[in-house]
Every structure is written in C-alpha cells, then in structure tokens.
Chain A
Amino acid sequence: MRFDIVYLWKYFWKILPYLRVTLEYAGLSLLFGLIFGSILAAFKLQKYRIIRYFGVVYTAVFRSIPPVVLLFLVYYGLPQLLLNTVGIDIQNEEKILYVIITISILSMVSLSEVIRSAYTSIDKGQYEAAISSGLLPIQAMVRIVIPQMIYVALPNIGNIVIYLIKEGSLGFTIGLVDVFGKANSLNQNSYSNYILEIYTALALIYWFTSILLEKGMKLIERRVSYGR
C-alpha cells in the first residue's frame, strides 16, 4: 500500500468544510458548559451542606460515565423521557442537538471544577474592598472578581475546549456528520483504499484547529493578564 500525498490533499479539502459542524457543537457546548458549570460551581461553594452534596454527587456520577455511553443514553433515552414526562417531542431534531447536550453535560462537570478553583484562588479581600468602596455585590463580582477568574481559568478552559472537539467525534456513532463523520463516510465510499490518506488529513485538521485555538487562548490570556 502506498501513501498518496495528492489524495491526502484532496481529502483534506473535502473534510475541511465539516469543521463548521465540529466548531458549532464545541462552541455551543462550551457556552452551555460555562453557564451550567458556573451554577454547579456555585452549588459546590455553598455553605448549605445539602446543596453542596448535590454538586459533588452530580460531578461524581457524570465523571464516571464514558462519553459514548452518555451519548447513547441521551440519544435513545432523552426523547422518550421528555415525551413521557413533559410531552415535548424532540425525536426529529437534528443529531447535533444530542451531541451538544452530551458534551455540555460532560464539560459542565470539568468546567465547574475549573470555575470553583479559579474562584477560590481570588483573595476574598478584593471582593470586600470592592463592596466597601461602595460597589454593589454584583458590580464587585463582574468588575473585580470575574475578570481575574478568567485569567486563572483560561489555560484549563483551553484544554477543555480541545477535549470537547475530540469527544464530539463520537457523534459519528449516532450518525452526525462532522469532520470525523465525513472522514468515515469518505473512507467507506472509497472502500478503504485511501484509509491512511483520509485519516491523516483528518488528524491534520484536528491538529491545526488545536494550534489555532491555543494561539487564540494565548491572545486572550495576554489581554487579561493585568501586568503580570
């Protein structure tokens, strides 16, 4: 078997447009993960033990389920659950929805830990100084605490985003056509004659994406470094 660089090039460009799908679920999962992860982190920082336990148990449960198992549970179980309990029919929704739900649940758990540790790393005194300067508690959070949390959390968030992009490739198991799904179908259509070229092209796409993301993260990091 010989490796044909021409085909590598050709497949690279055939797969690349589907990066849009990959970035879409990664971006949306990150967004939902950040929103719900913040809520989960707030739970874990509560002084009431029951609420705190809920956060800890939630984390423990979802951290131990393999992503593909969770995806199947969401894909096959959630539509029935929603139909039987609240009467909402999502059976004909696009497959990307299930991938987004699954990765959001997964990323929420890791992001909540990142957010929690970023919060505890910021000295409580700055919050106190802000409210005693006459800022309202919400202003103190938004203007003083959260910008510094972002700086602390950014490297970890970057890692999580790259992880999201890779985990999302499991979407092919329910028939989602992202970069991985596309590569798979190209491989089948060519009877695995160009299997190495196709998956090398795919690896390159993942690689470039990761590099670009890392560069982007570094740029943001520099913007929020405040003289450090």
Chain B
Amino acid sequence: MLELKDVKKSFGKNRILKGVDISVNKGDVVVILGPSGSGKTTLLRTINFLERADSGTMIFDGKTYDMKRAGKKEVNFVRKNTAFVFQNYCLFNNKTVLQNVTEGLIIGRKVPKAEAEVKAKAALEKVGMLDYADYYPSRLSGGMQQRVGIARAVAVSPDIILFDEPTSALDPELVGDVLKVIRKLAKEDITMIVVTHEMSFAEDVANKVIFMADGVVVEEGTPEEIFYRPKEERTRQFLSRIIPVDNYVI
C-alpha cells in the first residue's frame, strides 16, 4: 500500500537519509527503531511532505509520486489520505478538543459539520477523551493532548497513520495510556508506521520492525527476528544499549 524507494535527504552538508527503501502492506503495524539522528523522523516527515526529500519515489494507493517534485494537488491528496501524530501533540491551541478533530474533516475534506461532529465524537470516545470535548488544549495534560492528537488522526479514516515518537515528550506515568490507545488501533487493523523508543510496545504490537542507523535501513524483520536473532552487528549494539522496559502493565 505504501512503498518508498531510494529516499534521500540532506540538511546542508548533513546527509540524513542516504537512500531508504521501505514497504508497508495494508493492516501492517511497522515500527521504526534507531538511535537519534538516524533519520527515522525525517523519513516519516517526507511521507507527508512536511519535509521535501531530495530524491525518491513513493507509491501510495497505487499511484506513484516523485517525492521531490510532487505538485500541490498531489501533496494535498497524500496528506488527506494519511494522518500524522506529532511528538509534541501540536494541537491547535485556539480550538477546542472537538474542533481540533473536526477541523480536518470540515475544512480539509468538506464533510458537513453535523456528520463531522459525529465522526469526531466517535474518535474521541475511542481514545477516552469524549468528556473533554469542550476543553481547550491548554487545560489538558500531555497524555490527554496526545490522545486528542490520535483522535484527530483517526477521525479522518486515513489509509495510514504516521506516529512520530508519540510518547517521548510525555511524563513516564502518562505513556501507558497513550500506548494503550495505539495498541487498540493496531487491533482494528489500522495501518500505521510508528517511530518509537518503546521496545516492549514494539515487540507486542508491530508485525514488522525496521532498524535504521545513519540514514539507511540496517535490518528489518519480525519483532522476534530483530529483538532475538538480529543479523547485523549494528542492530545488536543498539539493542544492548537499550534496557528493556517491561513495566507498563496494560
């Protein structure tokens, strides 16, 4: 459903992506792991054209896009059929929780207001935030804001949701709630790519793990393959430095 071929991106002299290929099938939960600076976030951002790749091809829903030259209409089409969950939630601070979720429906996709609100409320219900529909983001905790961020992504029924380190800005005790919501979505066969440092989450939820380092995909496979039988030395090195955290009881 989504395929990236030979994606390259530099910031000045800094080569962040040196030719990355990944492919995602419908219903997949793909987790991208890797040390900071490995290009995971940049890769995710190029999919949604938040960052323009210097070169690369994307096949999405059967259509092929030149990631450097895609025009405004193509970009907008991809954005309307994908959703992005940000590390810092990035809720619209001038909108209520409900409006945050309906904005993309009403304005972005021309869904009538009443219908949009029904969809938005269903999405908020799913993440357990319906009671806060009339709150402004400034009054919510980080974990609540991120759940709204996820509802905003889910409500538009995207073909794929892109999660950019959705829990790394949260207080440790709030991480569990957010991961619980993402797990729930994974069970509903929603296709997603998740950049995260939560190893136990990756192990439980992913059906494919991609390990990136220095702008390339070092290794990919099932969670068992990557976590217990890594082929590459670089992967072993990375995993040995991460202490597994198994104390999120969900």
A: residues with CB less than 8 A from B are 123, 125-126, 128-136, 139, 143-144, 147-148, 151, 224, 226-228
Q: Are A125 and B93 in contact (CB under 8 A)?
A: no
B82 proximal to A (CB < 8 A): yes
Partner of A125, one of B76, B80, B90, B103: B90
The number of chain B residues touching the other chain, given as a range, is 20 to 34
B88: interface (CB < 8 Å): yes
Given the complex of chains A and B, what is the CA–CA distance between A147 and B94 in angstroms?
7
Q: Closest residue of chain A to B77, judged by CB? A: A134
Contacts of B50 in A (CB 8 A): 128, 131-132
Inter-chain contact B86/A128, CB cutoff 8 Å: yes
Contact check, B76 vs A134: say whether CB atoms are below 8 A apart.
yes
B30 within 8 A of A: no
Interface residues of B (CB under 8 A from A): 48, 50, 76, 79-80, 82-84, 86, 88, 90-96, 103-104, 107-109, 135-139, 149, 152, 156
Question: In the complex the two chains form, is A129's CB within 8 Å of B80's CB?
Answer: no
B139: A residues at CB distance < 8 A: 227
Find out whether the CB atom of B80 lies under 8 angstroms from the CB atom of A134.
yes
CB-contact partner of A129 in B76, B84, B136, B156, under 8 A: B84
Distance of A49 from chain B, by nearest CB (Å):
15
22 A–B pairs (Cβ distance < 8 Å), ordered by A: A125-B86, A125-B88, A126-B91, A126-B92, A128-B50, A128-B84, A130-B92, A132-B50, A132-B82, A132-B84, A133-B79, A134-B76, A134-B104, A134-B109, A135-B103, A135-B104, A144-B103, A148-B94, A226-B95, A227-B96, A227-B136, A227-B138
A133 to B95, CA, bound (A): 14
CB pair B80 A123 closer than 8 Å: no
B90 with A143: CB separation less than 8 A: no
Q: Which of B90, B96, B107 contacts A123 (CB 8 A)?
A: B90
Quote the shortest CB–CB distance from B224 to chain A (angstroms).
33
- A132-B83, A135-B104 in contact; A144/B48 too (CB < 8 A)? no
State the Cβ distance, A126 to closest chain B Cβ, in Å: 5
Within the complex, what minimum Cβ distance (angstroms) separates B203 from chain A?
28
Q: Which 3 residue pairs of A and B lie closest in terms of their CB atoms, listed nearest first?
A: A134-B108, A227-B136, A133-B104
Of the candidates A143, A151, A226, the one whose C-beta lies within 8 Å of that of B103 is A143
